[in-house]
Structure 1
Amino acid sequence: MTNESLGPWLRLVHVVERIDRTPYFIAIRRGLALALPLIMTGALALLLRYPSTAGMQQLLTEAFGPRLDDFCDSLLAGTFGIGSLVALYGFTDVLTSLHNQRLGHRVVNPMVAVIVVTSCFFTLVAPTGSDASPLAPLSLGHGLFTALVAASIGCCLFLKLCGYRLFRIPLHNLSNDTLVGDVFTVMPAGMLTILAFAILRAASMWLGWSEWVEALTTQFAISFSKLSNSLLFSISYEAASQVLWLFGIHGPNTLYSVQERVLDPAAHANVAAVASGATPQFIFTYGFFSAFARMGGSGGTLSLILALLLVSRTVRGHKLALFMMVPAVFNVNEPLLFGLPLVLNPVYAIPFVLAPIAQILIAYGAIVAGLMPKASFSVPWTTPALFSGYAVTGSLSGTLVQIVSLAAGAAIYAPFVRVAEYLAGRRGQEVLASLLRIAESPEASVKPKRCLELPGDEGRMAVSLASDLEDALATQKHIFLEYQPQVDLRTGRIFGAEALLRWQHPFLGRVAPPIVVALADDIEEIDRLGLHVLSLACRQRKRWRDVLPDDFVIAVNVSPKQLMNREFYRNVVDILDREHLPPSLLELEITESTMLLPDIEAIENLKNLRKIGVKVALDDFGMGHTSLHYLRELPLDTVKIDRSLADVSPGSVNEHIVKSIAELSGTLNLSLVVEGVENERQLSRLSALGCGRFQGYFFSRPLSADVCLEFVLAANRENRFAA
């Protein structure tokens, strides 16, 4: 494709991305996701309540007795029956939290906002007639749209009023209880918000809004009746149903009067015609839409699952598809509608409407061309796809048309799956970058939980990554090492390599090592991670013993918490013994910028390791105020100058610091390595200051084990780095 042809598509992606990242749509996604456990349980109850065949119905009745229906109805009442209320709760909580995050402090307690908005919702939908069901507005099928509208208006109004001093009560010493104080502070704003909804309800009743809606629906059905059994009718009906679903309104249920006036009579007429040996007259029946336009449920969502399995590049996409497949095969699509979600999702709006219309056109074309009989048999709506095509037409050609329709729907959904993953990946990288800045900040290093207790997206990603890191450590997958060579210009040889931690996350790609270390620290897995890295490095150095000289050292970073573990010395010795590696080939690097004053246990571990031949290096030297203290207290072999000091211009502060460190290292008989050397100018200046050993991109980036070995052998053979 040319740049010109990609232009409109990229503009569309950017528009969708801006919409998708607004607080409103973020709150919608998270609010609906909160109801997912209920939805999955309700989907199972639906499958048991409405089995796809009479034989299955009989089997279930014989196995569980006649009370199975009551059991399923109870499950549905406790899941789908309160789904809209749960979505309202989640939406309000997330929107309020995002509002507080944007302002930089907690203006409104999310729990208080939830209570206010819940009251607004019930004020708006409370039944007035004696026959009205008080639970109907709480269900996903009947009340979700109203719940989201009430939450949107109520929460926005409440947060807006809370921003005015006039509607806030100053705290002073009103209460020692924080929650009570939060409630009293915003009480005037809450009362005004609820009162506004009461006035709105009274106005709607005075205007006869419910009668207007009922009249509009009836007129809508009459209009569709005039288009009965035409292609225009079928496309208009399905498009209207899908658009309603996009806004959280159960399309088929809302348009039930159309089904009652048009589709059901046509289906009965076709069944009667077949029974009498006549030719069925109608193409578009309820069975036609169930079998050919709603495979997997409204939106042809079985095609979306197929697209996820075929084109998704992430483990998450595949797992999501497999997880949703079982209910979707039986045409229960609520888990996808509210779990992905598809409701109010700008990314999937186009294919959600377009896919079933394309499937209607394919089935219609097959019937008109005489390739498939008309839908002339009645089957339950939970009849599985592929079998339903045969059952409703009485012909295998129905199944073949379903296969073609599924493929067409998957082709329509496929590019939007890629767009969704692209947007999710971009957002994920942005949050990762923010998380990296936090993990590397000096303030974070003194907190007991550097990442897990963060607010907003960073905190959520940290919790998710922590769980994934635990899995990666348990399976020992996706965690590996790269090696960055260390060069001695005085001999012209590469004398060692630093082993660098890498984590290839299945969905997010490379996760920066500072994040991995911070997360491992937070979940108290830093010892396990450190020993795994040490074991990998020693194993690799053992593999190199026959091809690299005996003085080639492998350097491994060690965290402060590892050193303070009294078992650390024993663990290192066990790894060296297991890998049959001489201690002199291992160097442990202590990160000076993150280590507090060493305690007795840490010093004892280092002294014992140094006695058996393990080398000790002080990393990031010159960055902390305790640098000289470490030189006096720790048993060291090497000092590594931090990369921030590598840029030494004539007369600069860095130049004086590096020169002093070089002289001090020589006096103390310590090896000196400068990190972060990126160009020849830096190298020349550092060499002039007395530095002889270096590490950085000027010589080599971190390399995989095999590539590093080839690089070292070639460089030493060619004497590439001779002064």
Structure 2
Amino acid sequence: MEKFEKKLMPLAEVVSKNKYLLTMRDSFAMIMPLLIIGSIFTLIANFPIAPWMEFLKNTTIGDKTLASLISIPAGCTVSFLALFLAFAIGYNFAPHIGITDRASAGFVSLVSWLILMPQFTEFTPEGATEAIKVASVPLGWVGAKGVFIAIVVAFCSVKIFGFALNKNWTIKMPEGVPPTVARAFSALIPMTLSFTIIWAVAVLFVLTPFDNAFNFVYKILQMPLQTLGGTVIAQTVVYIFAHILWFFGIHGTNVTDSVYAPILTALSAENQAALAVGQALPNIINLQFQNLFATFGGGGSTLSLLIIAILTARSERIKKLSNLSILPGIFGINEPVIFGLPIILNPILFIPFLLVPTVNIISTWAVMKIGLVPLCNGVMLPWTTPPVISGFLVSGWQGAVWQIVLIVIGCLIYFPFVKALDDQYLKEDAEAKAKQENANFTSMDLDSIDLDAIEL
């Protein structure tokens, strides 16, 4: 165990301090409120109750249906995922490479991304046989399809921007000029350099069969990664690795999500886009699958552990901790049980801690694959949404029922291990109580001796 921990700790430390992964984590956290708000409107427009759906479709305001009007905020948030990321990544990457003007770095990232984007949308008029190109910003690229190129171009363009700043290739303004004006002129040459290099790259792609960088990144990088990341094998391997890290006291999902969350978020955005237009949902594995079906109550799916502990445990240590931890556990917060029971470096709980999430992932994928439970609709719910409610909102009543089934299965898996731990704690408590009673008896025995009555 010690050797294994020594191997994992440096790896986790490297990942947790990597400036690129930290930037990704902070950028997704930065835009998450927008995604959640947009998802709420998508959920309202597609709430899984037939009379409500019919009401929205049949109610009109002017020449628009109520369903289409409610979908507008979602179209301005989730559908612009890559656009927001293009700015957020540049903004959050700046301090990691010594750039103090974070806003300028964000604009460098955003504009560079737009420079690479095709400036037209193909449109086939009704009755025509050939598509025509309409000058526009293609909305297809500002959503999930444009995420990976937003990530790549953000890091590259801001690195160029930072290089020029560090070389002092800037315009120095005289003293007394307002700081905002001075910063603007200071960024002028580095911005120009970044935009020129990115523009040159865009021109080079015109000479290739891909025509533009967006097509290249999507076909060569994003699609293969999403295909690989959207498999049940990838999801299972990632979660086993995350839980091994958790077992050694490292926040495993923080480590894995910095790499895996962008892939899952893009897959969720595709599902939500399909939901909004009434198409079949394309992806079983996505962010909602991971957050709402892989675990309940936090890492290790410890909500099942807490339920079985409350129902069966006899040791005061487990009973009190479980009663205190059950409410946070319902909302996905399980640090009290991870560090208090503890689960960390506890060999008795290591097997179920890995096994329960693995069973959840594989079995959920299977029931969704055969159509027994609907696929997650891509609606971005807060990770603290309690089970049953979350299942109903993203996967209908079948999802809610399946969450209950998984929690019960988790209870059955945890039961023998919790019982073994409970027996161990009962034995330790009994031994501690016996020692205390023995100590008290010895103390009382000595106190009862009348030293004055002893004849010398």
- Please tell me the TM-score bracket, short chain as reference: 0.5 to 0.7
Distance in 1 (alpha carbons) for counterparts of 2:103 and 2:154: 14
User: What residue is the counterpart of 1:138 in the other structure?
Assistant: 142
Question: Which secondary structure state, in structure 1, belongs to the residue aligned with residue 84 of structure 2?
Answer: helix
Aligned to 1:91: 89
Shift of 1:75: 0.6
Q: Hey, what does 1:342 align to over in structure 2?
A: none
Say whether residues 1:151 and 2:147 are aligned partners. Answer: no
Kindly state the Cα deviation for residue 361 of structure 1 after the two structures are TM-superposed.
Answer: 3.5
Could you tell me which of 64, 67, 81 is aligned with 1:69?
A: 67
**Partner AA of 1:25 in structure 2:** L
Q: Compared with structure 1, are the counterparts of its residues 85 and 11 closer, same or farther at alpha carbon in structure 2 (3 Å cutoff)?
A: same
Q: 1:306 aligns to what SS in structure 2?
A: coil
Q: Which of 22, 42, 57 pairs up with 2:38?
A: 42
Alignment partners' CA distance in 2, 1:212 and 1:99: 28
Matching of residue 26 in structure 1 with residue 29 in structure 2: no
Cα deviation per residue 1:52-109 (whole Å; 9 max; x = unaligned)? 2324424656899773322222111222233333333333223323444xxxxxx652
Summarize the Cα distance change of 1:177–1:320 in structure 2 as closer, same or farther, 3 Å threshold: farther
- State the secondary structure of the residue aligned to 2:39: helix
Change beyond 3 A, Cα 1:404–1:135: same
The equivalent residue for 2:444 is none
User: Which residue identity does 1:116 align to in structure 2?
Assistant: V
Q: Assess if the C-alpha contact under 8 Å between 2:170 and 2:188 holds in 1.
A: yes
- Give the 3-state SS of the residue equivalent to 2:119 in structure 1: coil
Matched with 2:391 is: 385
Q: Give 1:169's match in structure 2, choosing from 158, 168, 171.
A: 171
SS of residue matched to 1:375: coil
1:229-240 correspondence to structure 2 within 5 Å? 235=232
Letter in structure 1 aligned against 2:46: Y
What is the deviation of 1:44? 0.7
SS in 1 for 2:11: helix
- 1:116 counterpart = 2:116: no
Match of 1:6 in 2: 2
Q: Report the CA distance between 1:48 and its aligned residue.
A: 0.9
**Whole-Å separation in 2 of the counterparts to 1:364 and 1:176:** 61
CA distance in 2: counterparts of 1:42 and 1:87, whole angstroms: 15
Describe the SS at the equivalent of 1:250.
Answer: helix
Q: Residue type of the partner of 1:250?
A: A
Inter-partner Cα distance in structure 1 for 2:182 and 2:290: 47
Q: Which residue of 1 aligns with 2:119?
A: 127
Secondary structure at 2:113 match in 1: helix
* 1:303–1:406 Cα contact (<8 Å) kept: no
How far apart are the structure 1 equivalents of 2:269 and 2:188? 39
The answer on 1:81 being equivalent to 2:73 is: no
Q: Taking structure 1 as reference, are residues 409 and 196 closer, same or farther at Cα in structure 2, changes over 3 Å only?
A: farther
Q: Greater share of strand residues, 1 or 2?
A: 1
Following TM superposition, by how much is the alpha carbon of 1:143 offset from its aligned partner in structure 2, in angstroms? 2.7
With a CA cutoff of 8 Å and minimum separation of 6, indicate the structure with the bigger relative contact order. Answer: 2
1:191 aligns with 2:192: yes
Whichever residue aligns with residue 194 of structure 2, its letter is T
CA distance in 2, matches of 1:137, 1:26: 25
Q: How does 1:311-710 map to 2 (within 5 A)?
A: 322=331, 358-359=359-360, 361-362=362-363, 375=371, 381=377, 385=391, 391=398, 401-403=405-407
Supply the distance in 1 between the matched residues of 2:413 and 2:164 (Cα, whole angstroms).
46
Alpha-carbon spacing, 1:145–1:212, altered in 2? closer, same or farther (3 Å): closer
Deviations 1:505-544 (Å, cap 9, x if unpaired)? Answer: xxxxxxxxxxxxxxxxxxxxxxxxxxxxxxxxxxxxxxxx
Is the 1:38–1:79 Cα contact (8 Å) retained in structure 2? yes
Deviations 1:441-498 (A, max 9, x none): xxxxxxxxxxxxxxxxxxxxxxxxxxxxxxxxxxxxxxxxxxxxxxxxxxxxxxxxxx
Kindly state the Cα deviation for residue 301 of structure 1 after the two structures are TM-superposed: 3.4
> How far apart, CA to CA, are the structure 2 residues paired with 1:124 and 1:389?
40
Identity value in percent:
13
Query: Residue 320 and residue 46 in structure 1: after superposition, are their counterparts in 2 closer, same or farther (change >3 A)?
Result: farther
Aligned residues: 319
Partner residue of 2:53?
57
CA 1:159 to 1:385, structure 2 compared with 1: closer, same or farther past 3 Å? same
Describe the superposition over 1:385-443 as per-residue Cα deviations: whole angstroms up to 9, x where unpaired: 37969749xxx8x67754457779999xxxxxxxxxxxxxxxxxxxxxxxxxxxxxxxx
Partner of 1:306: 297
The 2-side partners of 1:59 and 1:123 are apart by 43
- Give, in angstroms, the shift of residue 42 of structure 1: 1.0
Deviation at 1:32?
2.2
Contact 2:90 2:107 in 1 (8 A): no
Q: How many Å separate the matches in 2 of 1:145 and 1:316?
A: 39
- CA deviation string 1:247-303 (max 9, x = no partner): 4662367799xxxxxxx7xxxxxxxxxxxxxxxxxxxxx79x85xx66x72325344
- Report the Cα distance in structure 2 between the residues aligned to 1:218 and 1:16, rounded to whole angstroms: 25
1:297 aligns with 2:288: yes
Q: Give CA deviations for 1:638-680 in whole Å, capped at 9, x if unaligned.
A: xxxxxxxxxxxxxxxxxxxxxxxxxxxxxxxxxxxxxxxxxxx
CA contact under 8 A between 1:304 and 1:410: conserved in structure 2? no
Distance 1:323-1:143 versus aligned 2 partners, 3 A rule: farther
Taking the aligned partners of 1:316 and 1:7, their CA distance within structure 2 comes to 32
- Per-residue CA deviations over 1:586-636 (Å, capped at 9, x if unaligned) read xxxxxxxxxxxxxxxxxxxxxxxxxxxxxxxxxxxxxxxxxxxxxxxxxxx
Q: RMSD value over aligned CA atoms?
A: 5.2
Note the residue ranges of structure 2 that are not aligned, 5 or more in a row. Answer: 122-132, 239-256, 273-279, 307-320, 334-353, 380-388, 416-456
Distance 2:116 2:369 in 1: 49
Which structure is larger by alpha-carbon Rg, 1 or 2?
1
Aligned mates of 1:142, 1:7 — CA distance in 2:
42
Distance in 2 between the 1:38 and 1:379 partners?
A: 23
Superposition pairs of residues 204-219 of structure 1, within 5 angstroms:
204-209=205-210
Q: Distance in 2 between matches of 1:157 and 1:219?
A: 27
Counterpart of 1:203?
A: 204
Checking the alignment, whether the CA contact within 8 Å between 1:358 and 1:409 is kept in structure 2 is no
Measured at CA, do residues 355 and 56 of structure 1 come closer, stay the same or move farther in structure 2, by a change above 3 Å?
Answer: farther
Partner amino acid for 1:85? L
CA distance in 1, matches of 2:289, 2:221: 20
Deviation at 1:47, TM superposition (A): 0.9
Helix, strand or coil for the counterpart of 1:299?
helix
Quote the Cα distance in structure 1 between the aligned partners of 2:325 and 2:166: 40
Q: How far apart, in 1, do the equivalents of 2:113 and 2:195 lie?
A: 9
Q: 2: distance between equivalents of 1:200 and 1:54?
A: 50
Q: Which residue of 2 aligns with 1:484?
A: none
In structure 2, give the amino acid aligned to 1:194.
F
Amino acid corresponding to residue 197 of structure 2 in structure 1: A
CA 1:45/1:355 → structure 2, altered by over 3 Å: closer, same or farther?
farther
Equivalent residue of 1:298, what SS? Answer: helix
- 1:111 Cα shift? 2.3
Corresponding residue of 1:251 = 267
Could you tell me how far 1:239 is from its partner in structure 2? Answer: 7.2
CA contact (8 A) 1:240 1:251 kept: no
